[in-house]
Amino acid sequence: MGDKDTVLARVLALTEGEDDVVAKMATVACELFNSDSRFDWVGFYRVTEPNLLKIGPYQGGHGCLAIPFAKGVCGAAAVSGETQLVDDVDAFPGHIACSSTTRSEIVVPVFSSEGELLGVLDIDSDQPAAFSGEDKVMLEKLMKMTFG
């Protein structure tokens, strides 16, 4: 993810003082997508009604328009409230193939400062096992500092 500290600092500087969640999501998606060649798709799925995620700001090819909480890696992150780090999407039960090129994925839940689930940050890669525990820690920190 490039230099993680630089990416974190740049996103925080760009979103400082912004209170519009969608504007922040758009900025985060753009900055992350352009920060690392491992990333094929970076975007948000927003909670738009109970138990449903709908596509939000993203960078990359088309994503799925809607994902029920009961389906896929994004749904698992929304239901559990925990980051999902998936080395092989084909081995994940119920994986939704929004893109046939995706091999691995990391999905981080996004909470408001009041603890409300706003949605999830989804990052896909065409490389197997593209994401590390270090990526997980950095992305969780970024989501908390940007939205929480």
* Residue 1 scores a pLDDT above 80: no
pLDDT tens-digit profile of 58-85?
999 988 999 999 999 999 999 999 999 9
**pLDDT (0 to 100) of residue 101:** 85
pLDDT tens-digit profile of 10-61?
999 999 999 999 999 999 999 999 999 999 999 999 999 999 999 999 999 9
What class, spelled out in words, does domain 4-147 have in CATH? alpha beta
Q: Please check whether residue 41 is in contact with residue 130, taking contact to mean a CB–CB distance below 8 angstroms.
A: no
**pLDDT (0 to 100) of residue 60:** 94
Rg (CA), the chain: 14
Q: Is 33 helix (H, G, I), strand (E, B) or coil?
A: helix
**pLDDT (0 to 100) of residue 90:** 86
pTM, two decimal places: 0.94
Residue extents of the structural domains in the chain: 4-147
Q: How many helices (H) and strands (E) does the chain have?
A: 4, 6
Cα angle value 57/3/21 (rounded, 5°) = 25
Cα 49 to Cα 67, 91, 122, distances in angstroms? 11, 29, 19
- Distance separating alpha carbons of residues 82 and 56, to the nearest angstrom: 20
Q: How confident is the model at residue 99 (pLDDT cuts 50, 70, 90)?
A: confident
Length of the chain: 148
